[in-house]
Each structure stands twice: as structure tokens, then as C-alpha cells.
Amino acid sequence: MLSVPIPHDCVDGVHGAFGRRPEAYLDPSVRAGISTYALMSAADRDRGLRALAADLESGAWHERRGELLELDELDLGYRLVVAEW
């Protein structure tokens, strides 16, 4: 099993691809390509997005997660399983 680190500038659109770009989650066109948002209730999604927007505006996000801005990649638990026949 191989770890699949997600680069900070990943364009694939997996949920974790925007760790260094959290403001992207506020964009409906970005969220449209992320299955996580399709699976959650609208109330939960909207509550979370309001909290994220407030944290970005107040600087709280940067205080709590600013270290992510220094990372080139994240290990978010994605794994590649390779089978040999």
C-alpha cells in the first residue's frame, strides 16, 4: 500500500486538495466537484461554510491552521493499493 500525498496545488478537486486554499470551499463551482458536499445535508454544509467564512475573515483559520500554508503536500490518508498478478 502506497501513501498518496496531496500536493498543495492539486487541481484534481478531491476534498483535501484545498488545504492551503480554504477559501476555495466557499466557491459553489469548486464544491460541485467534491463528492463530500453532495453527501452532507444542506444545513450541515451551510453551517460549516458560514463558520469557515467567519474564521477566514477574522483570521481564526490562520491562527489555528496557518502551518498548512508552509507545507508542499499533505498526507490525508489516501492510499493506493497495488496488486500484482
Any domain includes 6: no
Q: What is the pLDDT of residue 11?
A: 82
Question: What is the SS3 assignment for 6?
Answer: strand
pLDDT one-digit tens code per residue, 19-75: 889 999 999 999 998 998 989 999 999 999 999 999 999 999 999 999 999 999 999
Residue 16's pLDDT is: 85
Total domains present in the chain: 1
The reply to whether 42 falls in a domain is yes
Per-residue model confidence as pLDDT tens digits over 2-13: 899 999 888 887
**76 is a domain residue:** no
| Domain presence at residue 58 | yes
d(CA 36, CA 14): 9
Asked whether the CA dihedral 40, 79, 23, 34 is positive or negative, the reply is negative
What is the C-alpha separation between 79 and 49, in angstroms, rounded?
28
Containing structural domain, residue 25: 12-71
Torsion of CA 33, 64, 57, 24, to 10 degrees: -10
The pLDDT value given to residue 25: 94
Give the pLDDT confidence score for residue 12 in this predicted structure. 82
